[in-house]
Structure 1
Amino acid sequence: MRHVEISGKRLRLREVTVDDVDALHAVYGDPTATEHLPFDPRTREEVEEVVAEALRAAEAEPRLLYVFAVTEPESSGAIGVARLHIEADHPHSAEIGLGLRPDHWGRGMGTDLIRLTLLFGFKHLRLHRIWGARSPANTAAQLAMLVAGMVEEGRIRHHVRARGVWRDSIVHSALEDEWEGHRET
């Protein structure tokens, strides 16, 4: 599976390209958008490397990393990013990471994005478990994950260091046999 594209009612995921660097920098470089992410805002050069890594990963065998530009169906311009990283030692499990531009927050798009990512992982990759971690302060992500069908598993203490301080993470997961795949995204 080299070129991946998956569409829902309000969002579409497609492989990132070098043309997406500026749009992804609008997420990864924005202090508001990265407030709850496990890294400081990234420079444009760092985002270029993220895209280069994604392009290399798309050619790897087996493929363990998928990085998608998130778009609205009627537009090709990225409004966010979704990552799905399959664990090399546990190839039926993957971690997701998501980000949307702040001007798209508060409209349920995070929930739709999670559902679309779960759909891809379970239906197309045949994964058994998909998980993601969030900042304890990110209640919007908590709600989006729960509404999308993920279960809160627990807290990892001092899991990441961002903005000069240690931060806990709250882990959520979905299992293939519990997933409500009949929901449309």
Structure 2
Amino acid sequence: MRLETKRLYLRNWTEEDAEALYHCAKNPKVGPMAGWPAHQNVKESLKIIQDLLLTPYTFALILKEKNEIIGNVSLNIEEENPSSAELGCWMDVPFWGQELGVEALKEVIRFGFQELKLKELWASHFEENHQSRRLQEKCELRFRYKKENVDCPLIHAVKTKYFNYITREEWLKNERGIAK
């Protein structure tokens, strides 16, 4: 599957992407902010692709101008509530602050509501992850609740986590407002 924005291609991961994933995910500023440790080698990145990223709505973010993988964006439909899905997005540090995450996440939100007919999308972020908070705000997700003392075993930490949501109706209203 492939989606496209002005500056990005979003396509499913393949095992051949292991080296590119490692290049992005080895940075210690990236993974721990999302609750996972920096990747240690290409072999580990390949295993992550095989075990976690080969799902229908998990996309490698490819910067068109360089044809380079710069991160990941995902939409994970909940088994217990198939009309709802969790959004996720991360990218390598050199690409922060360029609104690429906003561009990617807005396209996945559009896809979730228009193509998959989902009713609600949500994302979470840790209290100290201000970049994710701003990304979610810019994509019109609104705070619903927080959980304290969330165990994060992969990074050996306990954190406070914020949960933000957008419904299909809110998104449609926002889209109509932009179109005017």
Shared fold, TM over 0.5:
yes
For 1:32-181, list aligned pairs within 5 A: 32-43=29-40, 44-53=42-51, 54-55=53-54, 57-58=55-56, 66-161=57-152, 162-179=154-171, 180-181=174-175
Q: TM-score, normalised by structure 2?
A: 0.86
Q: Is the 8 A contact 1:152 1:171 kept in 2?
A: yes
Q: Is the 8 A contact 2:146 2:162 kept in 1?
A: yes
Secondary structure of 2:169's aligned partner: coil
Q: Is the 8 A contact 1:67 1:84 kept in 2?
A: yes
Is 122-131 or 38-47 further displaced after alignment? 38-47
- How many correspondences in the alignment? 173
Q: CA RMSD in A?
A: 1.9
Shift of 1:49: 2.1
1:11 aligns with 2:4: no
Ranked by relative contact order (alpha carbons within 8 Å, sequence separation 6 or more), the top structure is: 1
How far, CA to CA, are the matches of 2:44 and 2:83 in structure 1?
29
> CA deviation digits over 1:83-117, x for unaligned, max 9?
22111111111111111110000111121122112
Is the helix fraction higher in 1 or 2?
2
One-letter amino acid matched to 1:30? N
Is 109-118 or 36-45 further displaced after alignment? 36-45
How far, CA to CA, are the matches of 1:128 and 1:96 in structure 2?
13
Q: Is the 8 A contact 1:119 1:181 kept in 2?
A: no
Shift of 1:75: 4.2
Q: Is the 8 A contact 1:160 1:169 kept in 2?
A: no
1:29 aligns with 2:51: no
Shift of 1:181: 3.9
Shift of 1:32: 1.0
Structure 1 residue runs without a partner (length 5+)? 59-65
Distance 1:160 1:113, change over 3 A: farther
> CA deviation digits over 1:42-85, x for unaligned, max 9?
33333212222333x44xxxxxxx21010123443211111221
Q: Is the 8 A contact 1:6 1:12 kept in 2?
A: yes
The alignment-based identity, stated in percent, is: 22
Q: TM-score, normalised by structure 1?
A: 0.84
How far, CA to CA, are the matches of 2:83 and 2:65 in structure 1?
33
